Amino acid sequence: MPAPPEKEITSSDRIKRIFGILRLDGREIELHFPQYIEIVKIASTTYDSFTVKLSNPLIDITDEDVESVFINFIFSGVELFGKCKFLGQERSFITLGFPHVLSSRTRRRYPRVRIEERISADLRYKEFPQQRLEKIAIKDIPVKYSQLYWEAQRENADIKKVFLMALKELRGLSPLSEIVIYSKNTMKSRDARVMRKTGKVLYIDDCKHSQSYYRLITSEKITNYSDYLNDLKMTGVSQEELAQELQAIIREDLSRGCTSKVLVPIFSKSDVIGHLFLCQNDPAKKITTENITDLFALSTLLSLAIENSRFTTDLEDIVPSSLVDISEGGLLLKIQDHGNKLNLLEGTEIEVTFSSEGEEISLKGTIRRKDPQSQSYAIEFTELRPEIKRTLKKFIEDNIEKSSENP
């Protein structure tokens, strides 16, 4: 069998979006150096370049006369290849220019079936993927929180009582503290977006210095607003607008009297549903590692109480849509014009529900491509149980039969 024709991605905007998703998802890419291959993750992106962090800090290619680096990675089930200009190295960070072309030799695995009749569907999505819950073990919770622990671990825990007890402990650390639980009205706020997306501790050590808000942090547990600002940049926000947004964040913190601040996520299962907020208003006092450990303990206890009380928050959005085409591997969905301009990111995990002959079909997947102009999303299926696969296959076969009857 002859090799399938090579496909190329030449749109610079499309290439930048792909690299943005690689960074956001923490996916690995291969760098092909003259003598070896290094597997890395993208640390940051700019308008025309991206920076990766080497796993081996001893690697130094500045003296190897390298002009370009070949890369490859898996994206949407397809292996992509590219050639990037080498721009420089600083310690274990290497900066490369975006490739002008990404090539692939992978053929489509599943044939698509176009839907002849309009089939309405509900698109349920969480804007950010589930996070890995970072919490301390119950045995490591400070003794001073013993009473709070016994209340939180009860079956059908009194969630209001636990929240009030936790708030009292929080105010003991700083009077400028609060517990924030997200709602549909607040889950789009700046801090909520950072917390829901990263699941990390948001830490600002000096609210009077702008660098505290955007300097690169390589920790897997701590973040600031650098990713948030970089995401805005990827959507086309100008440098002037980014500077204005940064100043707005700083002004908001200073207006609250904060000299330093920390936010620790509150989890319900694998979703960030809120955060603990603590800030110091005395320049002589800094937020300590002991403060953060206490916040982790309080967050763990709140998560335990939330689970035992069966407390729920609805952070999912449901958007009316319709099927355009479908295969055993994915589908193309068009958002109905309902007055809201939807802009879901590639990589967003979703669930599509529709009815066929009186039976409800629910399919989970991930957005792989999008067309903002037509409000269409290409979705790759994930987590399909065997019975769902059988139902989907029958639905596709029925639509093939309808197509043959109505050429």
Q: CB–CB of 207/258 below 8 Å?
A: yes
Q: CB–CB of 346/369 below 8 Å?
A: yes
Q: How far apart are CA 31 and CA 83, in angstroms?
A: 10
- The residue from 274, 290, 309 where one domain ends is 309
Same domain assignment for residues 177 and 287: yes
Same domain assignment for residues 60 and 202: no
Query: Whole domain around residue 228: which residue ranges?
Result: 138-309
| Number of C-beta neighbours around residue 241 at 10 A | 12
Q: What is the largest CA-CA distance in the chain?
A: 79
Same domain assignment for residues 174 and 121: no
Q: How far apart are CA 103 and CA 80, in angstroms?
A: 5
CA proximity to 176, closest of 134, 207, 133, 145: 207
Q: How far apart are CA 282 and CA 304, in angstroms?
A: 33
Residue 132 forms part of a structural domain: no
Q: What pLDDT does residue 393 have? A: 84
Residue 222 forms part of a structural domain: yes
**Could you tell me the CA-to-CA distances from 186 to 127, 181, 235, 300, 344 in Å, in that order?**
14, 9, 22, 22, 18
Residue 1 forms part of a structural domain: no
Q: What pLDDT does residue 255 have? A: 93
What is the distance of C-alpha 279 from the center of its chain?
A: 26
Residue 133 forms part of a structural domain: no
Same domain assignment for residues 282 and 385: no
Same domain assignment for residues 200 and 227: yes
The strands making up 201-204's β-sheet, listed across from edge to edge, are 177-181, 271-280, 260-268, 201-204, 222-223
Same domain assignment for residues 294 and 187: yes
Same domain assignment for residues 382 and 272: no
Mean pLDDT by 10 residues, the chain (407 residues): 59 91 86 77 92 81 82 81 91 92 68 68 68 61 89 88 93 91 83 88 92 85 89 85 93 92 88 91 85 90 86 69 85 72 75 84 85 81 84 81 58
Q: For position 275, which CATH number holds?
A: 3.30.450.40
**Could you tell me the CA-to-CA distances from 200 to 101, 264, 274, 302, 316 in Å, in that order?**
34, 7, 12, 17, 21
Q: What pLDDT does residue 1 have? A: 37
Same domain assignment for residues 279 and 186: yes
- The residue from 309, 330, 359 where one domain ends is 309
Beta bridge partners of 31: 38, 71
Q: For position 76, which CATH number holds?
A: 2.30.110.10
Same domain assignment for residues 261 and 401: no
Residue 147 forms part of a structural domain: yes
Residue 245 forms part of a structural domain: yes
Same domain assignment for residues 86 and 13: yes
Q: How far apart are CA 236 and CA 247, in angstroms?
A: 19
Task: Take residue 49 and report the two structure tokens written for it.
Answer: 């370049």
Confirm whether pTM is higher than 0.95. Answer: no
Q: How far apart are CA 208 and CA 289, in angstroms?
A: 20
Q: How far apart are CA 173 and CA 166, in angstroms?
A: 11
Q: HEC string of the chain?
A: CCCCCCEEECCHHHHHHHHHHHHHHCCEEEEECCCCEEEEEEEEECCCEEEEECCCCCCCCCCCCCCEEEEEEEECCEEEEEEEEEEEEECCEEEEECCCCEEECCCCCCCCEECCCCCEEEEEECCCCCCCCCCCCHHHCCHHHHHHHHHHCCCCCCHHHHHHHHHHHHHHHCCCEEEEECCCCCCCCHHHHHHHHHCCEEEECCCCCCHHHHCCCCCCCEECCHHHHHHHHHCCCCHHHHHHHHHHHHHHHHHCCCCEEEEEEEEECCEEEEEEEEEECCCCCCCCHHHHHHHHHHHHHHHHHHHHHCCCCCCCEEEEEEEEEECCCEEEEEECCCCCCCCCCCCCEEEEEEEECCEEEEEEEEEEEEECCCCEEEEEECCCCHHHHHHHHHHHHHHHHHHHHCC
Task: Take residue 327 and report the two structure tokens written for it.
Answer: 């295969």
Same domain assignment for residues 142 and 242: yes
Same domain assignment for residues 69 and 93: yes
Q: What pLDDT does residue 299 have? A: 92
Q: For position 345, which CATH number holds?
A: 2.40.10.220
Q: What pLDDT does residue 2 have? A: 42
- The residue from 309, 336, 356 where one domain ends is 309
Residue 395 forms part of a structural domain: yes
Residue 351 forms part of a structural domain: yes
Amino acid at 375: Q
**Could you tell me the CA-to-CA distances from 315 to 127, 128, 396 in Å, in that order?**
9, 10, 32
CA proximity to 331, closest of 349, 347, 352, 317: 352
Q: What is the domain count for the chain?
A: 3
